[in-house]
């Protein structure tokens, strides 16, 4: 069995849904995980924001606009009156449900229920389409098996048991359609795996069902060796290790959600990144296999803040770093990069929500400097120490660019450099010339 995940753009219109159907209707056994149609989750977030502010007119206007859009797609998706009718009823019932939340008591519970409607709609529409085409597909409700625990981590045992139980009830069937992103929480309420979480769903489902492969279908041909928005002639990377893919996904390659690599890695299930616009292109294969070339890719992560804490007393002191890290932990703010010297430590964060409080707390331990508008440029590959020359090549390429921090040796797969945002394009191009050309 394979798991195939199609993102919002891949199911973004009736036409695109028909193209996805062509890709999945061979007779092999598969679970197809779908996102909401592109733009839908953003619109649902906006609707929820209006409802939090009790702006019911604003919410209703958006709800009606979105409903109109779905009605148009329904008309284009189905050819028979029977299915056009079924589709319209489906859309009507979901939007009536959304409208039932234009009430004064609007909490995160109502919000999450609204956000779930995007994936519930796209999968139901797609399943109807397959039925109209005479396919014997089965709609698997993610809310019946996908669950997170009290720490918002996937409840893997529950998921495995329940998903496999449902699959067994449909023995002999080959095409299963299910929702990405949505789940229930430890209290049984509707919840989600965070924005972009459909990739994570696919990976969790692949692991739970012991799939032979997880495919993530998007609209570009796999991960590229540099950011095509800033660098010309980037190339699709044919193979990556799980660790390299995790670093790249985290540090900028938007094509794959970073959380989705770990479950696949632990279960050793290959992940293939494929392009719906060019289904026969090779894409990127992420697996435990060793690659031949060492340098894989360069990526950049925006919106980084660097914080430097200088303490006169760090000299020969122990416990200083623990105290510093505890402050970040108490504000649930993850640290990306670290660089230490005998008199101080610099760290970077990408979540600024508690910056002020963090800085205030850090001042107990020394002087604190903050630099905003930073970018982490990260070089990913199999950069093990015996392979001399990579650090030199990277720094040589960057000789014209001021570097604020360097991190090397944290893993065998990544060298990270912190630079000013304004130097990002230049840095990406210099590294590209030096490392790949």
Task: Yes or no: say if 241 and 413 are a contact pair by the CB < 8 Å rule.
Answer: yes
CA–centroid distance for 137 within its chain:
27
Q: What is the number of other CB atoms lying within 10 angstroms of the CB of residue 267?
A: 16
Does the footprint of ligand ASP cover residue 154 (CB under 6 A)? no
Task: Yes or no: say if 385 and 403 are a contact pair by the CB < 8 Å rule.
Answer: no
Kindly identify the residues of this chain, within the stretch 193-222, that bind Mg ion according to CB under 5 A: 196
Task: Yes or no: say if 359 and 371 are a contact pair by the CB < 8 Å rule.
Answer: no
- Binding partner of 283, given Mg ion, ligand ASP, none, CB within 5-8 angstroms per partner class: none
Question: Taking Cα atoms as reference points, which of 376, 370, 372 lies closest to residue 417?
Answer: 376
Does the footprint of ligand ASP cover residue 8 (CB under 6 A)? yes
Task: Yes or no: say if 221 and 275 are a contact pair by the CB < 8 Å rule.
Answer: yes
Distance CA 357, CA 351 (A): 13
Does the footprint of Mg ion cover residue 154 (CB under 5 A)? no
Which pair of structure tokens corresponds to residue 193?
A: 């795996």
Angle between helices 40-52 and 56-77 (to 10 degrees): 160
Instruction: State the nearest-atom distance from the C-beta of 38 to ligand ASP, in Å.
Output: 8
Distance CA 316, CA 197 (A): 44
Does the footprint of Mg ion cover residue 381 (CB under 5 A)? no
- Binding partner of 118, given ligand ASP, Mg ion, none, CB within 5-8 angstroms per partner class: ligand ASP
Task: Yes or no: say if 45 and 108 are a contact pair by the CB < 8 Å rule.
Answer: no
Q: What is the number of other CB atoms lying within 10 angstroms of the CB of residue 64?
A: 12
The residue from 12, 87, 180, 283 that contacts ligand ASP (CB under 6 A) is 180
Q: Which is nearer to ligand ASP, 7 or 344 (CB)?
A: 7
Does the footprint of ligand ASP cover residue 258 (CB under 6 A)? no
Q: Which is nearer to Mg ion, 121 or 427 (CB)?
A: 121
**Site track for ligand ASP across 18-47, x = CB under 6 A:** -----------------xx----x------
Q: Which is nearer to ligand ASP, 196 or 252 (CB)?
A: 196
**Site track for ligand ASP across 89-128, x = CB under 6 A:** -----------------------------x----------
Does the footprint of ligand ASP cover residue 217 (CB under 6 A)? no
Does the footprint of Mg ion cover residue 344 (CB under 5 A)? no
Kindly identify the residues of this chain, within the stretch 2-41, that bind Mg ion according to CB under 5 A: 7
Does the footprint of ligand ASP cover residue 222 (CB under 6 A)? no
Does the footprint of Mg ion cover residue 180 (CB under 5 A)? no
Instruction: State the nearest-atom distance from the C-beta of 201 to ligand ASP, in Å.
Output: 8
Q: Is 405 exposed, middle or buried (0-12, 13-18, 19+ CB in 10 A)?
A: buried
Distance CA 418, CA 413 (A): 17
Distance CA 120, CA 143 (A): 10
Binding region for ligand ASP (CB under 6 A): 7-8, 35-36, 41, 118, 180-181, 195-198
Binding region for Mg ion (CB under 5 A): 7, 196
């Amino acid at each position: 069995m394979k798991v195939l995940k199609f993102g919002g753009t891949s199911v973004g219109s009736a036409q695109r849904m028909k193209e996805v159907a062509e890709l999945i209707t061979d007779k092999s056994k598969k679970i197809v995980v779908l996102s909401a149609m592109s733009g839908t989750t953003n619109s649902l977030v906006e609707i929820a924001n209006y409802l939090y502010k009790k702006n019911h007119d604003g919410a209703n206007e958006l709800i009606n606009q979105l409903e109109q859009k779905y009605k148009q797609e329904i008309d284009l998706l189905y050819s028979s009156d029977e299915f056009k009718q079924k589709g319209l009823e489906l859309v009507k019932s979901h939007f009536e449900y959304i409208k039932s939340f234009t009430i004064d008591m609007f909490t995160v519970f109502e919000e999450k229920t609204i956000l779930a409607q995007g994936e519930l709609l796209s999968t139901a529409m797609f399943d109807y389409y397959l039925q109209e085409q005479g396919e014997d597909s089965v709609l698997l409700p993610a809310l019946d098996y996908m669950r997170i625990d009290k720490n918002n981590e996937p409840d893997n045992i529950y998921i495995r048991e329940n998903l496999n139980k449902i699959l067994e009830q449909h023995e002999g069937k080959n095409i299963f359609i299910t929702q990405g992103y949505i789940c229930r929480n430890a209290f049984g309420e509707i919840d989600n795996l965070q924005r972009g979480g459909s990739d994570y769903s696919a990976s969790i489902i692949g692991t739970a069902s012991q799939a032979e492969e997880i495919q993530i279908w998007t609209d570009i041909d796999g991960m590229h060796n540099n950011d095509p928005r800033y660098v010309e002639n980037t190339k699709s990377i044919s193979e990556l290790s799980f660790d390299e893919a995790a670093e790249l996904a985290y540090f900028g390659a938007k094509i794959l959600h970073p959380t989705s690599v770990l479950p696949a890695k632990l279960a050793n299930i290959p992940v293939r990144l494929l392009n719906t616009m060019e289904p026969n292109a090779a894409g990127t294969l992420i697996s435990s296999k060793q690659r031949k070339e060492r340098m894989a890719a360069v990526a950049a992560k925006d919106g980084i803040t660097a914080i430097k804490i200088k303490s006169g007393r760090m000299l020969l002191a122990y416990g200083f770093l623990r105290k510093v890290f505890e402050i970040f932990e108490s504000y649930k703010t993850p640290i990306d990069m670290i660089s230490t010297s005998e008199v101080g430590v610099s760290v970077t964060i990408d979540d600024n929500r508690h910056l002020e409080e963090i800085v205030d707390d850090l001042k107990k331990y020394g002087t604190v400097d903050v630099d905003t508008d930073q970018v982490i440029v990260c070089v990913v590959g199999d950069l093990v120490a015996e392979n001399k020359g990579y650090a030199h090549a990277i720094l040589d390429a960057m000789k014209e660019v001021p570097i604020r921090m360097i991190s090397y040796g944290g893993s065998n797969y990544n060298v990270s450099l912190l630079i000013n945002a304004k130097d990002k394009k230049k840095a990406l191009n210099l590294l590209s010339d030096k490392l790949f050309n």
